[in-house]
Structure 1
Amino acid sequence: MTKHIGYARVSTRAQDSDRQIVDLKDPMLGKVRADDLYIDHGVSGARETRPALDQALAALEAGDTLVVATLDRLGRSTENMLRLAADLRNRGVALKVLNLGGEAIDTSTPTGSMLFTVMVALAQMELDIKKERALDSVSKRRAAGKDLGGRRAKFSEGLIQMARQQIDAGGSPSQVARDLGMSRATLHRRLQQNAESVDLRLGEPPAVLPRKREARKGGLK
């Protein structure tokens, strides 16, 4: 008797309300029995090791169908997804994606197989475009001298005050910046902002920090 083997990847263990689980178990849609459903919890699609997917693939026999809710459940790489589909086809196993371009696609049919290949390529192209846009945004922000998301919070006010104390005690600004994992220019800017914040709280005019110590010929201290 042929079976529908379902695979899902969820971010948490609170899976009952996850839409993909509901769709896979739907008797009119995924047609997957609870005993034939394999779930990876908190596993990224970019990772090669996905234990539940490996178990689902091992459970498949000729004539069975592997069912997933969306294409990205299988991974992020076009090459990997097409290789997986080809491997299933060679084993006599169909692949059914419940929502690929708004429609369910079943690779057991010639049309479904062709559409799957096209949609995988389009999905990869969309992912590449998003990556390119993200990198372009980072490059523009860096060129404009803006802080990148998440970096400001990493260096707390207490940490900046500690850096100031080390420099006041004779420490090299360049070395202190390296120890904190930031550039000397960023450290100077954060020290200036910290000084202005302290002075404003005290009701005093903002202090002006020196740009840098006397530099040795050919480089900073």
Structure 2
Amino acid sequence: MLVGYMRVSKTDGSQTTDLQRDALLAAGVGADSLYDERASGKKDDRPELAACLKALRHGDTLIVWKLDRLGRDLRHLVNIVHDLTERGIGLKVLTGQGAAIDTTTASGKLVFGIFAALAEFERELISERTLAGLASARVRGRNGGRPYKMTPAKLRLAMASMGKPGTRVSDLCAELGVTRQTLYRHVSPTGELRPDGEKLLSR
């Protein structure tokens, strides 16, 4: 079955999906298989897109007018298409820069593979820039980034250390890479497990 998704960014009536609707109907999508969204592409909460993706079944093909109607950015698009592919669902783009994408064909899969490679390259660049920024901050005496979460290995070390008289909590937190609040949620000052610690070790 063919399923169509269309979207405009503004909800004030100044934009319509008429052009998209006509193109999707001409491509063979039934009128009762169209999902009409009126929301910015940058929004995470798009109920019509969520309903559309949920309704798709193995063997179906999702059709969009342009690629930018579907995803927030390249990585979001790649994630959507990977999910569709794993579920045995195709994607076809009718016009625009992504018009060569039709994952129901070999050539279309190749084109999307290039998109996926570019997204992976973008992720690696962002990761490299983040690591370089953190290293630069450490050289200047600043530590950035979120603390690591408590792990079973860290928790066992905390349990053994907290009961010792010479343990300094600030030093222990720095060694484990967790905040004082996180430490005390999992283990008491005497080294006994607290409910969060019990849950962690029981997983």
User: Unaligned regions of 5+ residues in structure 2, if any?
Assistant: 123-203
What's the offset of the Cα at 1:76?
2.7
TM-aligned CA distance change 1:46 to 1:97, over 3 Å? same
Aligned twin of 2:24: 24
What's the offset of the Cα at 1:14?
7.1
The alignment status of 1:4 with 2:6, answered yes or no, reads no
- Asked if the contact 1:25/1:33 (under 8 Å) is kept, the reply is yes
Q: Take 1:110 and 1:102, find their aligned partners in 2: how far apart are those partners? A: 15
Aligned twin of 1:198: none
Alignment of 1:180-199 (within 5 A): none
Aligned twin of 1:92: 88
TM-aligned CA distance change 1:103 to 1:83, over 3 Å? closer
Q: Take 1:16 and 1:77, find their aligned partners in 2: how far apart are those partners? A: 22
The alignment status of 1:61 with 2:57, answered yes or no, reads yes
For residues 30-75 of structure 1, the C-alpha deviation after alignment (integer angstroms, 9 at most, x for no partner) is 211110000111x110111111111111110000001100010112
What's the offset of the Cα at 1:17?
6.3
TM-aligned CA distance change 1:40 to 1:115, over 3 Å? same
What's the offset of the Cα at 1:18?
2.7
For residue 109 of structure 1, the aligned residue among 100, 105, 112 is 105
Secondary structure of 2:94's aligned partner: strand
RMSD: 2.5
For residue 39 of structure 1, the aligned residue among 36, 51, 67 is 36
Counterpart amino acid of residue 36 in structure 1: S
Higher Cα radius of gyration = 1
Alignment of 1:139-150 (within 5 A): none
Secondary structure of 1:44's aligned partner: coil
Aligned twin of 2:74: 78
- Asked if the contact 1:8/1:38 (under 8 Å) is kept, the reply is yes
Aligned twin of 2:127: none
Counterpart amino acid of residue 52 in structure 1: E
TM-score after normalising by structure 2 = 0.52
TM-score after normalising by structure 1 = 0.48
TM-aligned CA distance change 1:39 to 1:75, over 3 Å? same
Counterpart amino acid of residue 19 in structure 2: R
TM-aligned CA distance change 1:33 to 1:104, over 3 Å? farther
Q: Take 2:56 and 2:15, find their aligned partners in 1: how far apart are those partners? A: 23
Q: Take 1:33 and 1:55, find their aligned partners in 2: how far apart are those partners? A: 16
What's the offset of the Cα at 1:109?
1.7
Counterpart amino acid of residue 6 in structure 2: A
For residues 90-144 of structure 1, the C-alpha deviation after alignment (integer angstroms, 9 at most, x for no partner) is 000000111143745310122101212435749xx9xxxxxxxxxxxxxxxxxxx
Secondary structure of 2:101's aligned partner: strand
- Asked if the contact 1:99/1:105 (under 8 Å) is kept, the reply is no
What count of residue pairs does the alignment treat as equivalent? 118
Q: Take 2:72 and 2:16, find their aligned partners in 1: how far apart are those partners? A: 25
Aligned twin of 1:208: none
